[in-house]
Amino acid sequence: MDLRGENKGYPYPLGVLQRIEKLADRMNRPSRWLLPEGRPELFVGVDLGTSYVVVVVVDDQGDPVGGMMQFATIAREGLILDYLGAIEIVKGMVESLQKGLGIQLGYASTSFPPKTESANIRTTQYVVESVGMKVLKIVDEPSAANRLLNVQNGAIVDIGGGTTGIAVVEDGEIIYTGDEPTGGTHLNLVIAGRKKISFEEAESYKLEHQAETLEITLPVIQKMATIVRDHIGDRRVEVVHLVGGTSGLIGMEKVVEEELGIPVGKPSHPQLVTPLGIAIACTEERSVQSGRREPLRSV
């Protein structure tokens, strides 16, 4: 599994980076899934993306306990196209996690790209419910990312496989969300055309030849930055935070920074930020519902 895209680019709080690193370390590695002492309640985040299905388990403090991710094409541009396939994949992952941790997982959160129709949001919920978990919260993707990053002022841009989600945050509140059908799939198409290889070969090529990918796909990345600029409009944005798998492309943050003229930050393993944020949203919701305490802060 590839979890590249290490440059941090922005001084994120240590607690945020440690959580991401912990998840990266435990991702798809059952030998590292350890039940925390005292057997606290566990919470699950399910991200049904265009390119990857990711399931993250956190404890009651939002700390990663285990996780699985798998390349899968069950959705396109945020819409679930293969309902049964989605159930099968999520079921397999949840069962593996339950077996590895020796515990039943009961509570989950899931997500949707901003501006998704309510019917599709319900489909996502049904997928998670049909594997036996109660859905406590459904959050839009860039807002989920902010459950982890805890940005007070800035924009969060989640560039995934098929969609780019944008959220503008002011004084800790999300004041705008937008969504565009652009992402890693478009980079693959450009690479496939240029190198005369298949889409699947382009996917591997992209991960193995980062510098050349940046060069070949520069116009697409510049276009993505223009899209982000249009969404930001005249809102005041101090920093743009890049998350999502495609943001993992080494050097992408510099191109976006140049185009926007705004500082750009990118946490390590940007692909894991939104899935982890979804799981943290579940923990927070449980706290609020059970009246135990205020929502958790990210760090």
User: Using CB under 6 A as the criterion, which residues of the chain lie in contact with ligand ATP when the complex forms?
Assistant: 2, 4-5, 47, 49-52, 75, 78, 160-163, 183-184, 203, 206-207, 244-246, 248-249, 271
101/282 with CB nearer Mg ion = 282
- Measuring CA to CA, how many Å separate 123 from each of 92, 129, 181, 292? 18, 10, 19, 30
Stretch that binds Mg ion, among 14-22, 49-57, 69-77, 89-97 (CB under 5 A): 49-57
Stretch that binds Mg ion, among 20-28, 148-156, 158-166, 211-219 (CB under 5 A): 158-166
Q: Which three-class secondary structure state does DSSP give residue 8?
A: coil
List the structure tokens of 77. Answer: 């541009």
Provide, rounded to whole angstroms, the least separation between the CB of residue 89 and ligand ATP.
12
List the structure tokens of 126. Answer: 């049904």
Are 34 and 43 in contact by the 8 Å Cβ rule? The answer is no
Stretch that binds Mg ion, among 13-21, 29-37, 160-168, 263-271 (CB under 5 A): 160-168
Select from Mg ion, ligand ATP, none the partner in contact with residue 116, using the beta carbon and a kind-dependent cut-off of 5 to 8 Å. none
Are 277 and 58 in contact by the 8 Å Cβ rule? The answer is no
154/160 with CB nearer ligand ATP = 160
Stretch that binds Mg ion, among 17-25, 89-97, 159-167, 177-185 (CB under 5 A): 159-167
Which of 67, 160, 184, 270 is in the footprint of Mg ion by CB under 5 A?
A: 160
Are 74 and 128 in contact by the 8 Å Cβ rule? The answer is no
183/267 with CB nearer ligand ATP = 183
Are 232 and 196 in contact by the 8 Å Cβ rule? The answer is no
Provide, rounded to whole angstroms, the least separation between the CB of residue 113 and Mg ion.
7
What are 219-226's contacts with CB under 8 Å, separation 24+?
220/182, 220/186, 220/187, 220/190, 221/187, 221/249, 221/252, 221/255, 221/256, 222/255, 222/259, 223/182, 224/159, 224/164, 224/182, 224/256, 225/255, 225/256, 225/259, 225/260, 226/259
Provide, rounded to whole angstroms, the least separation between the CB of residue 269 and Mg ion.
14
Select from Mg ion, ligand ATP, none the partner in contact with residue 4, using the beta carbon and a kind-dependent cut-off of 5 to 8 Å. ligand ATP
* Binding residues vs Mg ion (CB under 5 A): 49, 160
